[in-house]
Copies of this chain bind each other. A is one copy, B any other.
Amino acid sequence: MNKDTGRRATIVDVAKKAGLSKSTVARVLAGSSNISQDAAERVQAAVLATGYERNHLAVGMRSGRSGLLGLVIPDITNPFWAEVARGAQDQAARQGVSLLVFSSDWDADKEAAHLRALCQARVDGAIINPVADNLADLDRFGMPFVLIGSSAERFPDTSSVGSDIVQGVRLGLDVLLAQGHVQPALILGPKSRLARARFLRAVHEHCIERDVDPSILMTEDSDYTVEGGRSAMKRLLQAHQNGQHLAVFCANDLMALGGILAIRDAGLSCPQDVSILGFDGIPSGAFSWPGLTTIEKDGRRIGSTAVTALYAEIAGRAEHERIYVPCRLLERGSLADLSEMATARLVAKG
């Protein structure tokens, strides 16, 4: 805000103050080469003197680059999506652009409205967790985009970024096997969900690779909720001679949290009697008792990777491939190490 005129300083004010032309100032601001030391310094000084701040609306209008990116996720209030947003935000800041954030609530109409807003804001590109069945709207707007999350897998031949579920499942199974749980039980999502099949297939394939017969694993279907996990675990405990040394791999953290409650309900203790492994890495897993050991999706990295991929897309040098971001093991105490316990017993005897 210019003290003298009461309005914001423009590039013309800076040019006048510096005794140079608009274009020279613009060149300095854009960090172009072919600029004399003297000119650069005078512009610097004039910018400070006038309090000039670049008008991105004007820049965007002229150059066709708004310096804006769009992010459409189901719900910013969901901790996983908040992590994604944060990762995208940070990467955008590093690239010197800003992020418009929208929540779709898994509602195709809201999604369409948000895409329209992005188009009107002339974002340089968008990162979207798609809820609609087709990408007609996206094509219509003709803006570069990258899909994120598991729902993006429905669209091959598009750039997309998501968790590496297969690697996460392998990681989880290997941890269980290494700690002596040679026959882990599974609590799965409902049959109606695609994610269930994906999870189960990954388990089967890795079991075979590790010489475990997947058909002998006990499984319970549930519904991805705490209460669902609780009753699924109750059924497992009844079926498994009171559950001693049982280990259960749950397809998400909410069900795992319910599993911990069910173990306590049955008068058993986790992890002494029953071990639990979750999948997701929700923050609440840190506050259960015991803390929930889980396979954590790396939301932040998904977000930052998506921004990077989006820039490849904008530049037109995109590969249109799905990028899989690895999951991590988050150890918080709900797993008993049977091999260690066995060793301890031997040591005690000896």
Contacts and interface: CB of A to CB of B under 8 A. Distances in A.
9 contacts: A8-B142, A53-B119, A57-B66, A68-B100, A76-B82, A77-B82, A257-B287, A284-B287, A287-B288
A141 interface: yes
A99 interface: yes
A56 B1 contact: no
Interface stretch (A83-91, A167-175, A200-208): A83-91
Q: How many copies does the complex hold?
A: 2
A53 B141 contact: yes
Interface SS of chain A: helix, strand, loop or mixed?
A: helix
A287 B1 contact: no
A289 B289 contact: yes
Contacts of A103: 86, 89-90
A273 interface: no
Interface in A83-137: 83, 85-86, 89-90, 93, 98-103, 113-114, 116-122
A264 interface: yes
B101 A56 contact: no
A140 B50 CA distance: 11
A205 B66 CA distance: 53
